Amino acid sequence: MSAKNQRILYFILILIGGALVFTEQGKENREDPYLLILGFVLLMFGLYKATTRWVRDNPKENSSNDPGGEEETGNDRWKSNGEDREKDKTT
């Protein structure tokens, strides 16, 4: 199956799952919760497969500032530059 067909299939699964969840959740008396569960399963499966497909199609490129390829978290930036942290404490 081509990448374009897969994207269309996953989009259709997301739409069907969302429609099932939306319509079943709006009912006042839910005698049969299986359609709601099926809607959630289709929605989550479609989202999972679509995002994994998007990641494969658009790989993240390493920036020139980060040769290791790892993202810097909020705590890591303070470890590398303790002088800035001292300035922030005084202000």
Domain spans in the chain, listed from the N-terminal domain onward: 1-55
Q: Which long-range contacts does 14-18 make (Cβ < 8 Å, 24+ apart)?
A: 14/42, 14/43, 14/46, 14/47, 14/50, 16/42, 17/41, 17/42, 17/43, 17/44, 17/45, 17/46, 18/43
Most confident of 20-24, 34-38, 43-47, 49-53: 43-47
Mean pLDDT for the stretch of residues 69-78: 55
Tell me how long the chain is: 91
pLDDT in tens, 7-42: 899 999 999 999 999 988 888 887 778 888 999 999
pLDDT (0 to 100) of residue 47: 93
